[in-house]
Structures are given as C-alpha cells and as structure tokens.
Structure 1
Amino acid sequence: MQIEIRKGLALYPGTFNAVIAPENEIIAAINSNTDLQRFLFLYISGNYSRILSGINRQSKNFDIRRGFTAHQLLTILREVGHTVVFVEHDPSLFDNAFEMLQPIADALKDIARDALVILYTPSMDRSFSALAQKADHYIEIVPVEVEQYPLRTSRLMRQHGLRPSGQTTLEVS
C-alpha cells in the first residue's frame, strides 16, 4: 500500500511523513488512490479543515476525528488503530500549548511504526516545523506555475529571418 503524491513520489507504511503541498495536490493524491479504500484510513483535523470537503469519502473504512485542542489531538493519536493516519495541521491548537508539540510529535512517530502517517499543511509555520522534526520524510511540493515566455526568442527569430523590435545595434554619435 502506498500513496503517490506525485508521479514518482510515493509514501509507504512504517513512515512518518511531513508534507507541505497545495491543497489541490493533496486532495488529488488522496482521491486518485483507490487502494486507500481497502485500508483503515483516519483523517484528523483541528478546529477547521481546508481539504476535507474535497476528499472522496465513500469508503466504509474512512474515519474522521477532530481535535479542538492540542490535548484532544494527543488523546486521538494515543487511540489510533488505523493503517493510514492523515493529520491536517491546525496551528491554532498550539497557540497556548507549545508544551504539547513534543508529546504529539512523539505520538506521530510511534504510530508510524505500524502505519503510514502523514502530517499535512498547505503552508509552513513554527508549530508544524516543530512537529516535523521527528518525521522520517519531509516533503515540500511547490506549485508549478506556467510561465508565459514570448514566442519571439532570438533563436526562433533568426531561424525565420525576423528582426526583433526595438534597437538592434549600438549606435554611437
């Protein structure tokens, strides 16, 4: 069992993975992996979720839990018995509970001995960085922006006998 985030980039059981990626990339990775429906999948979010509404949840093996505080998140993690554990990072859980970062990071690492653990965020913050220090893999997917290059490059222009607009020679008076 694996989750392929991008072509050639797969996550495997027995690992704790810290992933920073655009929301649409991670939703597509989860939805495109039909094998996930065969495994016990636990989705954990905090006070809000940016991606849950986009995830296909037709599988009977897809469980959702919400931790509204860092202490509740730790309790959820201590009760995990799933094959895939996906934690959508919510930095607001740690606003007044920085002391909980280490125990939660340790719990994620412990769960990863028997499961595939993914700690996900669309953007980096201090609490995610602290949790990710225990991760086996740290993955950042940067969105690929299509750059608009002009078709009139000097090489193409020479091949077609065209002259670029603007000054073409250095004139001295």
Structure 2
Amino acid sequence: MQIELRRGTALQPGTFSAVVAPEKLMVSAINSNVDLQRFLFLYIGGNYSRILSGINRQSKNFDVRRAFTAHQLLTMLREAGHTVVFIEHDPSLFDGAMNMIEPLEGALKEVARESLVILYAPVADRTFSALARRADRFIELIPVEPDGLPRRTSRIMRQSGIHQTGQRTLEVS
C-alpha cells in the first residue's frame, strides 16, 4: 500500500513523511487511491481543516479525530493503531505549548514504525518545520502551470530577480 502524490513520488508504509503541497493535490492523492479503503485510515485535524470536506470518506475504515491542543494530538498519536495516520497540521495547537514539539516528534516517529504517517500542511511554518525534523522524508510540491513552469507571484519574481520577460543569471562572487 502506498499513496502516490505525483508521478514518481509515493509515500510508503513504515515511514514518517512531512508533506507541503497544494490542498487540491493532497485531496486528489488520497481520493485517487482506491486501495486506501481496504486499510485503517486515521485523519487527525485541528481547529480548522482545509481538506477534510474534499476527501471521499465512504469507507468504513476512515476515522476522523479532532485535536484542539497539542496534548490531545499526542494522546491520539499514542493510541493510533491505523495503517495510515494523516495529520493535517494546525499551528494554533501549539499556542503556548511549544514544549510539546519534542514529544510529538518522537510520537510521530514511533507511530511510523508500523504505519504510514503523513504530516501535511499547504504551507510550512515554524511548528511544522520543527515537527518535521525527524521525518524520514520531507516533500514539498509546488503547483505547476500548464506550460510546465512553477507558478510564481510578481512579488517573488521581483525578489528573486526573475522578470516577466525572462530570468536573470545569478552571478557567483
């Protein structure tokens, strides 16, 4: 059992993967894998979910739990006995609880010994990066335009030296 995020990029059982990807891509990866219905799947969300409403939850093996604090998230991870454990990162769980990062890192790694653990966020932040330190894989997928080039905003283009008409060569000093 594996979850293919994009051609050539698959998540395997027995690993802890930290994934930064667009919401649509993650929903599509979960929904397009019909094998997931055969396995116990645990979705853990926080105070707000960006993707849960888009996930096909017809399987009887799909469990949803909400963690409202970092302590609740730790408890849920310790009790997890699922084949796939998907955590949608919510930075608000760590307000005033930064001391929970280290125990959660260990719990994510421990659960990954027997499950596929996915820590997901559409955009990495400080707490996501801290939790992902012990991940087996850190995957960041960026949206691609139909022409095959990464999507960039004009602000990012100005900061990186890319102009609408082309790319400037960076000089080595």
Matched residue, 1:55 = 55
Q: Deviations 1:61-90 (Å, cap 9, x if unpaired)?
A: 000000000011111111000000000000
**Amino acid of the structure 1 residue aligned with 2:142:** V
| 2:79 match | 79
What are the ranges of 5 or more consecutive residues in structure 1 without an aligned counterpart? 149-173
Identify the residue that residue 108 of structure 1 maps to in structure 2. Answer: 108
Counterpart of 1:117 in structure 2 is 117
TM-score normalized by the length of structure 2:
0.84
- After superposition, residues 10-29 of structure 1 pair within 5 angstroms as 10-29=10-29
Counterpart secondary structure, 1:132: helix
RMSD over equivalenced CA pairs, Å: 1.1
Larger Rg: 1
Q: Secondary structure at the match of 2:10?
A: strand
Matching residue of 1:158 = none
Give TM-score scaled by structure 1 length: 0.84
For 1:134 and 1:92, locate their aligned partners in 2 and report how far apart those are by CA, in whole Å. Answer: 21
Separation (CA, whole Å) in 2 of partners of 1:98 and 1:146: 40
**SS of equivalent to 2:134:** coil
Alignment of 1:1-173 (within 5 A): 1-147=1-147
Deviation at 1:101, TM superposition (A): 0.7
Runs of 4+ in 1 over 4 A off after TM superposition: none
5+ unaligned residues in a row in structure 2: which ranges? 149-173
Q: CA deviation at 1:92?
A: 0.5
User: How big is each residue's C-alpha offset from its partner over 1:108-143, in whole Å with a ceiling of 9 and x where there is no partner?
Assistant: 000000000000000010000000001000000000
Using the TM superposition, give the Cα deviation of residue 147 of structure 1 relative to its aligned residue in structure 2, in angstroms: 5.0
AA matched with 1:30: I
Aligned partners of 2:28 and 2:7: how far apart in 1?
12
Instruction: Tell me, in whole angstroms, the C-alpha distance in 2 between the residues paired with 1:147 and 1:95.
Output: 41
In 2, distance between residues paired with 1:105 and 1:32?
Answer: 29
SS of the aligned residue for 1:72 comes to helix
Structure-2 separation of matches of 1:147 and 1:139: 22
How many residues of Structure 1 are paired with residues of Structure 2 in the alignment?
A: 148
